[in-house]
Structures are given as C-alpha cells and as structure tokens.
C-alpha cells in the first residue's frame, strides 16, 4: 500500500473491536489482560489466567481479611502449582509508628512473600505487587502491603523470584486459616 489508511477501529470476525484509534492517534489494543477474584472462604485463594507471554504482571488487592490470627502469604504459580522452596529472594522494610523501621533480608531465599507482624483478625490488607520478567524463569519484583486497619503500618519488598517456567497466577494463603473478605485483580502485558 502506498497511500494512507484511515480507520477508527479494527474488528474481529464477530464484529467486536480488537484495536481502536482515537481522534488524536492513541491506539488501544483490546485484549483479555485481566483476571478478577473475590476471596476464597476456604483454602488458598488462587487467581490464574496469566498467559506465558506476559512480561509484566501486576497483582492488586483490596481489603484482604484473614479470618484467624496468622501471617498472610503470596506465592506465584507455574502450571497451576504454587512456587515454594527458596524461590523468593528479597529485602523487606517494615514501617510502623511503634517500632519504627525494621529490615528483614531473605537473600538466601524463602517459600513466599509474607506479611509478618500484622496478624490480628481485624487487619485488612491492600497489596500492590509488580513482577517483571527478566529471562525465562527469572523475575524481578516490587511490592507494598498496607494495613488499612492500622494506617501507620506498611511493608515494602524488593527482590527476585526464580521459577521453572512462566508465572500463570497467584495464591494467597492465610497461615492461620482462611479469608473472610477482600478482592484482588491481576493485570498483565
């Protein structure tokens, strides 16, 4: 083609817009790049559906509420199975009004990313976890967990996750029992 092609929308065979271009030239690709979930009342809360081509994955949650006293964990999944062992290597900084700053170093590896020390049943957690693919089975991540019940407490994480394959989802685990509230969403690109 040697001329200009002008379109507002490119559609799939059924007529649904796959790509749109607005009046100032911004392109939006319409794809299924999110998964949403409400808390699981028993067992691990699993959110899946991340495709193997995803290079950036973001986990966001609101009001995660464990129903029993205990720590809260996040693990990624590969092939639907939680990645454990020493896959998570990171530093954690905990900020509180009472204890000030605490730094924990997990550079030798641990089985999950965990919120430690905020283990009452009245705690509500919001997470933002961003994961970036560095290479096959190697991911870098940043995370923040904020306790909305005690607004002056938060935890910040930075490190790597080493897996046997592409991350396809997440598991949340309440170490003391189950969850009784919360929502979570995954985004990927």
- Concatenate the DSSP letters of all residues of the chain into one string: --S----SEEE-TTS-EEEEE-TT--EEE----EEEEEPPSSS-EEEE---TT-SEEEEEEEEEEESSSS-EEEEEEETTEE--TT-EEEEEEEEETTTEEEEEEEEEEESSEEE-S---TT--EEEEEEEEEEETTEEEEEEEEEESSSTT-EEEEEEEEE-SS---EEEEEETTS-EEEEEEEEEE-
Q: How far apart are CA 72 and CA 30, in angstroms?
A: 34
**Per-residue pLDDT tens listing for the chain (189 residues):** 677 777 777 776 776 666 677 777 776 655 557 666 666 666 788 888 888 888 999 999 888 888 877 778 899 999 999 999 999 999 999 887 777 888 999 999 999 998 765 656 667 788 899 999 999 999 999 999 887 777 677 889 999 999 999 999 999 888 777 888 888 888 888
Retrieve residue 45's tokens.
Answer: 């809360």
Q: Find all residues with CB under 8 Å of 65, minimum gap 6, and list them.
A: 39, 121, 123, 124, 125, 179, 180, 181, 182
In Å, the largest CA–CA distance within the chain is 68
Which domains, and CATH codes, for the chain? Answer: 33-188 (2.60.120)
Does pTM surpass 0.85?
no
Q: What is the pLDDT of residue 32?
A: 56
Q: What is the pLDDT of residue 78?
A: 97
Q: What is the pLDDT of residue 15?
A: 67
Contact yes or no for 103/117 (Cβ under 8 A): no
Retrieve residue 178's tokens.
Answer: 């189950």
């Amino acid at each position: 083609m040697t001329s200009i092609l002008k379109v507002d929308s490119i559609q799939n065979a059924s007529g649904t817009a796959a790509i749109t271009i607005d009046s100032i030239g911004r392109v939006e690709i319409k794809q299924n790049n999110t998964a949403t979930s409400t808390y699981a009342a028993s067992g691990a809360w699993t959110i899946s559906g991340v495709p193997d081509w995803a290079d950036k994955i973001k986990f966001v949650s609101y009001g995660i509420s464990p129903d029993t006293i205990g720590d809260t964990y996040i693990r990624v999944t590969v092939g639907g199975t939680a990645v454990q062992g020493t896959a998570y290597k990171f530093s954690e900084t905990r900020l509180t009004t009472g204890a000030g700053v605490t730094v924990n170093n997990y550079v030798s590896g641990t089985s999950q990313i965990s919120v430690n020390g905020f283990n009452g049943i009245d705690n509500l957690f919001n997470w933002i976890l961003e994961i970036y693919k560095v290479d096959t089975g190697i991911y870098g991540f940043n995370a923040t967990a904020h306790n909305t019940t005690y607004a002056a407490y938060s935890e910040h994480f930075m490190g790597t996750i080493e897996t046997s394959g592409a991350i396809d989802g997440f598991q949340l685990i309440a170490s003391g029992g189950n969850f009784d509230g919360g929502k979570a969403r995954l985004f990927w690109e």
